[in-house]
Every structure is written in C-alpha cells, then in structure tokens.
Structure 1
Amino acid sequence: MIQDDGGRNFAAAGPAGTDPGAEPAAVRRQAGGAESSRANRGWWDRNADEYQDDHGAFLGDARFVWCPEGLDEAEARLLGPAAGLRGRRVLEVGAGAAQCSRWLAAQGALPVALDLSHRQLLHALRIGGADAPAGGGGAGPGSGTRLPLVEADARALPFADGSFDMACSAYGALPFVADPLRVLREVRRVLRPGGRWVFSVTHPMRWALPDEPGPEGLTVIGSYFDRTPYVEEDERGRAVYVEHHRTLGDRVRDLVAAGFRLLDVVEPEWPEWNSQEWGGWSPLRGRLIPGTAIFVCEHDGAAGRP
C-alpha cells in the first residue's frame, strides 16, 4: 500500500469519543508495537475511503506500482520476469485494496493479499467485484478475479512455514511497525528457501526534511539519525497514527539479521511523465533527492534461522 507521504500530510479523524473535527497533534515520542498497530489499524480504517478516492486513479485497479514515482513492476521486474510468476504463490503484505495482487493474478500468479485494515480490504472486494467467481484469470471490477484476502497483523502472519514462493510490499506494514525485525522474520518464515522478498518504503533520508513538495522541502530540519517515531495524538494523548524511521543501514542490518540476502537497493528516479504531487513527493523534489527505497532480497536458504 503506498502511503500518503507517511500519512503526515493527512489529518486523521479522531477515534470514537473524540471531537471528529479536531486536528491531531503531531509529536515525536516512543510508541511500542501494540500501540502502533492499534493506532494505524484505526487510521487506515477511517481514511481508506479518502485514500482510494484520492489515489485510486494513479494506482489503477490492477496495476503494480511500487511508489509515488510511478515505478511499475511490469517494467521494473523486481520480482523477476512476468512469465516466471505463473503458478507462484505470492504474499502481498500491506496490500490495501489489493491492486498489486490483482496485477499478479493477471500474470498467472497465485497471490494472497494481507492487510491490517478491514476497510481497505472492503475496497479490495469492491474493486474485484463481490460477485466475481473464484479462479478467474482477469483483473479489475467484475472481471472474474476473486483474490484471497486476509485481515491480519504483519507481525504475526497466519500462514504455515514455507507457504509462499515470493512476498512483496509496496509501502505496506514496515513503515508503521515498531519492530520491523519481527515482520521480516515472519516473512522469511512463510517463504520457501530461496524465495524472493521485495518491499518499498519512504527513502530514509526524507526523515531529515519537511514533508513539503516545494523548495521548502529541500532544507534539512532534523537529524537523519533520530529514530524517534512520528506520532499523531488525539486530545487525550492517544496515538491515532504512528510511523517509524529506520536509517538505510538499519534496514540492511535488519534484513541480514532476519536471514535475507540483499540483492539490490533501488532508488527510483522521478520520470518525465509524472507531473503529479503526492504529499511531499513532487517533480521538483524527485529530480533532486530520492523519495523511495526498494529492497530486493531473497531467503538465504539456511535452516534453523529465527
């Protein structure tokens, strides 16, 4: 799921019992795994409709877009040649409305779309067509593709060991969890040895800059090395949105510790055709600094790793 500039340009509505018109307060403070999960489940459930309305046209119904830069899996082939996807079981982590999974199904893959947000998965049903028969080969509304949809926390994947040939995530789960190593170990557990794992996140260097698409977004205002989470709170001090920062080195060390072999780190350049602004992403910033980091990895094949 591509987030909207880390969610930091969105004003999340407060939870039940709060003033729905009150703007959440943005702070930097510690937030643990349970608090982050609870806050982000609520945020995405409340904001899924607006998110899909605002970005559905860019994401498409059955398009695999890795990032706001518009890098498309059909051309990038980070999961490998499209022909090699046929018959492969693929887990999409943080699938949102399952646009990427729908594209995978159109290539003949056997995707499972997992997300924390019930409302996002309802959009997946809407796009896929609630009356679509299982086992179809098309993609899009009413096309005959019914994808397996799973509502679950990525920190505890409800699948057996070695259930999938590949896994992928376009801005899903990892930016929002306090314990990314736990998620990575879970992904490795459900992958077969040698299975590929590709995920995209906000480029870590963006955390030192304002979330602004214009020139003001090019000035460093904080430390890149400050890992204190970004939290939006309601008037009672309860977290309603949480995002966590990891440096580039942190991401690499987490992957190695989880038992992955890092094959590539892709930093998509801003394409000439893309004139849109997406939160803090813009043609101005995108042509000067990276906005996205994509990690291409594979299960190292070793037995007995955590």
Structure 2
Amino acid sequence: MLSASSRANRFWWDGNADEYQVEHGEFLRDAGFMWCPEGVDEAEARLLGAVEGKDVLEIGCGAAQCSRWLSTRGARVVAFDISHRQLRHSQRIDLETGLRVPVLQADAESLPFRDGAFDVACSAFGAMPFVAAPLSVLTEVKRVLRRGGRFVFSVSHPIRWAFPDDPGERGLTSDRSYFDRTPYVEADDDGTPTYVEHHRTMGDWVGLIAASGLTLTSLMEPEWPDGHDRVWGGWSPLRGRHLPGTAIFTCSA
C-alpha cells in the first residue's frame, strides 16, 4: 500500500509531467545524465564508475533520460518511477530516439527486484526527497545491490530548507530553522495531500545511510559553474554563488 506521501507525489507528477518535460527536457537531454541543476554531468563526473557490462537500476527515473545515456555506455539498465505519465514520456523518447529502456511503475519504498540483482543503483533527484521512509528505500537498495555495489543519489542540499525557494535576493535570507523537519505539503480543498517533500539534515542523511548497512564513501556539494546562467526553480547563479543547492551521496554495499 502506498504511503500518503507516495500517493500525493504520484498524483502530482502525473499532473505535471508534461510541463516538466517541456521546461527541462532540453537541459536533461533525451539521452543524458545530469545529476543536478548545477549541471554536473555523469559523462564528466563519472560518479558511477565504469558501467559497461554492469546491471544498473535507476530509481525515480522520470522519462529515463539518465538510463538511456547509461545504455549507450554498455550498461544493462532497468528504470522505474512512481508516475505513469513520466513513464509515458519515456516511451515517447524511446520511439523518437530508437534507444529503448525497460521501465516499470513502482514505489521506491518496496522494490520489485530480487536480492543482489544489480551492480549499481542511481537516483538523480528521484524519489529520495519525496519519500516518507527514506530508510526503507536505502535498505531496499542495499538488498538489491551485489556485494561491493555502488549507490549514488542526489537531493536538494539540506541547507536550502532554511531559505525561501526563491532564485532572487529573497532566497538569500533564512526564514526558518534548518532543524525544522516538518514536511512541505500542498493539499487540495479537502485537505488531501497533493504534493509532499521531506527535509532531512545532513546528519540525518549520514545516519540513515549508516543504518541501512550502506557505507558512505563520498559527498559532493557542487559549486555553481561560471557561465551557467540557467534558473531552475530556486536554483540560480545568484544563490549558487552563496549556497550549495545539491548534495550528491556515493555509497557502497
């Protein structure tokens, strides 16, 4: 059974997938692996290591742009997302590019895969910020990875929670406690959640990774690169020069 957070976010992404792909599709590329709005590209960052001949799982894949890129590098990729509409966009891009990626609809808190099925798992802003039980996801990832496997995931940097989600000057002044873990929730007129995003501090993420049995091996806080002027929601050159916008965790099983 889906949690309230999962139900809300499935509803939200089904309703907003079209707009999201129109707005961000060019930046993401049909077969490209972009970790974050700062523009960290897996082709250069190589956070996943060599993937040729490896079994790779993408968690919260959206339209599977990352998986499609991985397939061009010789990986055997499986991808899933909670949103059916996002997966329809994956099918559309498959037809347009001729690069077909196997995708399925699933919830990250209960992975429909056998133990030790994958060498690598990855998630670029997929699922991890939106789930109510991140330890369940991390534990599931640990279960489906082979011994020595790697999991890399990116999320909004925890410090951003203390600042308004505004790309301008207003977004540079803290207006809430970094330690307030109250989720951000949007609801309909009946009070039913329609979008939920959860906040964990950096310490929370480290503790969750350790509790899952994974080992944190690297933490990347990308700086905003010179010449990159694209605004994505609360991410912008102005804020990026002052505050980290993304945290990328690399873990081993």
TM range (shorter): over 0.9
Name the counterpart of 1:20: none
CA deviation vs aligned residue, 1:129-182 (integer Å, no higher than 9, x gap)? 1xxxxxxxxxxx333x21110100000100000000000000010100111000
Alignment of 1:143-154 (within 5 A): 143=98, 145-154=99-108
Provide the rounded CA distance (Å) in 1 between the counterparts of 2:67 and 2:211.
28
What is the CA distance between 1:215 and its match in structure 2? 1.0
Provide the rounded CA distance (Å) in 2 between the counterparts of 1:186 and 1:53.
32
Name the counterpart of 1:76: 45
CA deviation vs aligned residue, 1:178-220 (integer Å, no higher than 9, x gap)? 1100000001100001100000000000000001101110101
Alignment of 1:1-306 (within 5 A): 34-80=3-49, 84-129=50-95, 141-143=96-98, 145-299=99-253
SS at match of 2:171: helix
SS at match of 1:37: helix
33-42 or 236-245: bigger deviation: 33-42
One-letter amino acid matched to 2:6: S
SS at match of 1:289: coil
Which aligned runs of 4 or more in structure 1 are off by greater than 3 angstroms?
A: none
What is the CA distance between 1:67 and its match in structure 2? 0.2
What is the CA distance between 1:273 and its match in structure 2? 2.6
CA RMSD of aligned residues (A): 0.8
Provide the rounded CA distance (Å) in 1 between the counterparts of 2:59 and 2:133.
15
Computing the radius of gyration from Cα coordinates, the structure with the larger value is 1
One-letter amino acid matched to 2:92: R
SS at match of 2:170: helix
CA deviation vs aligned residue, 1:52-90 (integer Å, no higher than 9, x gap)? 00100110000100000010000101011xxx2111000
Structure 2 regions of 5+ residues with no counterpart? none
Identity of aligned pairs, percent?
Answer: 64
Provide the rounded CA distance (Å) in 2 between the counterparts of 1:78 and 1:108.
16
Structure 1 regions of 5+ residues with no counterpart? 1-32, 130-140, 300-306
What is the number of residues matched between the two proteins?
252
CA deviation vs aligned residue, 1:252-305 (integer Å, no higher than 9, x gap)? 000000011111110001111311111100001001110000001100xxxxxx
What is the CA distance between 1:241 and its match in structure 2? 0.2
One-letter amino acid matched to 1:257: A
Provide the rounded CA distance (Å) in 1 between the counterparts of 2:219 and 2:211.
17
Provide the rounded CA distance (Å) in 2 between the counterparts of 1:127 and 1:62.
9
CA deviation vs aligned residue, 1:204-259 (integer Å, no higher than 9, x gap)? 00000001101110101000001011100111111000000000000000000001
Provide the rounded CA distance (Å) in 2 between the counterparts of 1:256 and 1:55.
33
One-letter amino acid matched to 1:245: H
What is the CA distance between 1:34 and its match in structure 2? 1.0
